[in-house]
Structure 1
Amino acid sequence: MQLRNLEFRVYDHNIRYDNRGLTKHERYWCERKVPSIASMKFNGQHNTIICLQEVLYNQLLDIQEGLGEEWAYYGVGRDDGETQGEFAPIFYKKCEWELIKCETHWLSETPEVPSIGWDAALKRIVSYVRLRHYSTGREIGVFNTHYDHQGLTARKESSKLIVTLMKEEMCQVPVVLTGDFNSSRDDEAYKTLSKDLDDSGLLLSEDLRYGHSLTFSGFNSNDKPNYIDFIWLPRNRGLCLKTFGILHSEFHHFKFSDHRPVCVDLELR
């Protein structure tokens, strides 16, 4: 029996961790969480998978409460594999998706245990879920990560590791990679990924891309805007990109993150 096509959305956002030592124009999480969660809810209506970065445990609980009981998530804290440190969680609606597989790998030479890799400053992880869509029976895999902000070697080696992990899964299901890569399109980490994957931000003509041109805005004029958040798609796996957008993160002169959400609509044929 031929399976039906599956249309779904991927929403990716670095929400900014719950920083207690604020930078200029930055707001506390207790203020930022309301518009941050509202953006997730508004843009996450049907068949949506929400991938987040820089999420501390208290923020995770706030987001779970804000989204409601119909949502579930997978993710662990990068410091201890439980609740300590930042999460890279993946949220999905329990009525739409069945969780088939979930795992976390550390971006290091010892990916199965909490560890710092290569020249990185901090522990870094990639979260993975395989989901089955109840209505169509189709399965997809989603990787979500946050690369190190200092280690050039760490970012490049992280790309190599993730490509290896993705190829193992692509033998069974089409997969998507999301995250804050702390890398521009000129960096080796980006170029390593682009050998095997497609950058969704380049697949549609400019007139079909919605919103902003950069994903990192910062909170003030001293922050240099950049394009470092990406949603990557596999080649020749039946995934068709329908829409692409870099969404707003500022309303009424108030930024709820120093990054903007990236959002794509996909069709699995």
Structure 2
Amino acid sequence: MKRHSLKILATLTLAQPMPAVAQDLRVMTFNVRYPNPDDGPNVWAKRRNLFANTVRAANPDVIGTQELFQSQSRDVVHALPKFRWFGRDRFGGHATEHMGIFYRTDHLRLVSQGDFWLSETPEAPGSMAWGATLPRMVTWGIFATRGTKPYRFLMIDTHFANRDVEDEEARRRSADLIAARLPMLAKGLPIVLTGDFNATPDSEAHRRLAAVLTDVWATSPTKTGPEGTFHDFTGKPQAMIDYIMVRGFAPVSAAVLTDHAGDRYPSDHFPIVAVLRRKD
């Protein structure tokens, strides 16, 4: 085994949350960083194996991704054949970034799926509003577990506008739109939301979603890893902007994973992986 492989395994062992019991759900949120050809040593081709290794070691049942290109999704499924994924891109096709949801087909069954845009015309693909410079959207799916006591839950995945000051209203309005749509989508089912909010926990966007959902990192009884997810390929977290939020689940554990091989990281964001227990 190569030296850097040992380092990866050691990091993963330390970072994983506590083992799940039967019927617990393992959820990951992961901004994959789109395949930017100008990323130099961090181009996708040089980190895709590390990305797959990070997911494999974390062993999630379902993953909400952001900035996912279709070519990246193919690489992930090729490396991790127990996973399937779904989603459309910002414009309703498959040419640019997706809010792609991956799931283990041996653990979960996809019942239904859909999407909407974070705008004043949510059903219009590619629609923008509130000053955002790119279309922002939500991908959602209803899943059924395959355990001995199966249940269904709603999974939704999103990525809010990124400019610090100029997009504050867009993030707030996006959070309001999601909160307003949750009852219609969930119909009483437990909810898991994953996303890159481009906003810290003290932001208005986070506060509005936290009024109807529970922030897993903030409330988990067991946590490992740094208090931040965006690190810009440095390994030094600058801010917590990625989240797993739930309703109808109790957080068991959460970890911000800092897996790396030398100075290479699977993305410019650290992923979060959490163990969730359905409330009776």
TM-score normalised by the chain length of structure 1? 0.89
Report the alpha carbon displacement of residue 51 of structure 1 after superposing the two structures with TM.
Answer: 1.3
Q: Give 1:104-119 correspondences, 5 Å limit.
A: 104-114=115-125, 115-119=127-131
Measured in 2, the distance between the counterparts of 1:123 and 1:188 equals: 20
Structure with higher RCO (Cα < 8 A, 6+ apart) = 2
Q: Which amino acid aligns with 1:137?
A: P
| Residue 15 in structure 1 maps to residue 23 in structure 2 | no
Secondary structure, aligned partner of 1:212:
coil
Among 154, 157, 171, the alignment partner of 2:187 is: 171
Give a deviation string over 1:18-57, Cα, whole Å, max 9, x none: 011227xx51100110100111112126xx1111111112
Among 95, 102, 110, the alignment partner of 1:99 is: 110
Secondary structure, aligned partner of 1:98:
strand
Among 216, 223, 226, the alignment partner of 1:209 is: 223
Measured in 2, the distance between the counterparts of 1:201 and 1:137 equals: 26
Report the alpha carbon displacement of residue 97 of structure 1 after superposing the two structures with TM.
Answer: 1.5
1:143 corresponding residue in structure 2: 156
Would the alpha carbon gap of residues 189 and 36 (structure 1) be closer, same or farther in structure 2, given more than 3 Å must change? same
Measured in 2, the distance between the counterparts of 1:165 and 1:90 equals: 19
Q: Give 1:31-110 correspondences, 5 Å limit.
A: 31-44=46-59, 48-68=61-81, 70-79=82-91, 81-110=92-121
Measured in 1, the distance between the counterparts of 2:259 and 2:162 equals: 21
| Residue 27 in structure 1 maps to residue 36 in structure 2 | no
Report the alpha carbon displacement of residue 164 of structure 1 after superposing the two structures with TM.
Answer: 1.4
Q: CA RMSD in A?
A: 1.8
Report the alpha carbon displacement of residue 213 of structure 1 after superposing the two structures with TM.
Answer: 1.6
Measured in 2, the distance between the counterparts of 1:261 and 1:144 equals: 14
Structure 1: give runs of 5+ residues left out of the alignment: none
2:254 corresponding residue in structure 1: 244
Q: Which amino acid aligns with 2:73?
A: L
Structure 2: give runs of 5+ residues left out of the alignment: 1-21
Measured in 2, the distance between the counterparts of 1:124 and 1:156 equals: 13
Measured in 1, the distance between the counterparts of 2:234 and 2:102 equals: 30
| Residue 125 in structure 1 maps to residue 140 in structure 2 | no
- Counting strand residues as a fraction of each chain, which structure ranks higher? 1
Report the alpha carbon displacement of residue 98 of structure 1 after superposing the two structures with TM.
Answer: 1.5
Q: Which amino acid aligns with 1:83?
A: H
Report the alpha carbon displacement of residue 220 of structure 1 after superposing the two structures with TM.
Answer: 4.3
Give a deviation string over 1:146-190, Cα, whole Å, max 9, x none: 111022111111101111121223333111110100001222111
Measured in 1, the distance between the counterparts of 2:113 and 2:219 equals: 29
| Residue 185 in structure 1 maps to residue 232 in structure 2 | no
Q: Give 1:221-236 correspondences, 5 Å limit.
A: 225-234=238-247
Report the alpha carbon displacement of residue 215 of structure 1 after superposing the two structures with TM.
Answer: 0.7
Report the alpha carbon displacement of residue 137 of structure 1 after superposing the two structures with TM.
Answer: 2.0
Report % sequence identity.
Answer: 28
Would the alpha carbon gap of residues 147 and 189 (structure 1) be closer, same or farther in structure 2, given more than 3 Å must change? same
Measured in 1, the distance between the counterparts of 2:151 and 2:237 equals: 41
Would the alpha carbon gap of residues 169 and 243 (structure 1) be closer, same or farther in structure 2, given more than 3 Å must change? same
State whether residues 44 and 50 of structure 1, in contact with CA within 8 Å, keep that contact through their aligned partners in structure 2: no
Report the alpha carbon displacement of residue 74 of structure 1 after superposing the two structures with TM.
Answer: 1.5
Measured in 2, the distance between the counterparts of 1:155 and 1:217 equals: 21
Report the alpha carbon displacement of residue 210 of structure 1 after superposing the two structures with TM.
Answer: 0.8
Give a deviation string over 1:186-235, Cα, whole Å, max 9, x none: 22111111111111111135xx21112211111249x971110010112x
Measured in 1, the distance between the counterparts of 2:234 and 2:190 equals: 39
Measured in 2, the distance between the counterparts of 1:215 and 1:248 equals: 9
Measured in 2, the distance between the counterparts of 1:117 and 1:37 equals: 35
2:214 corresponding residue in structure 1: 198
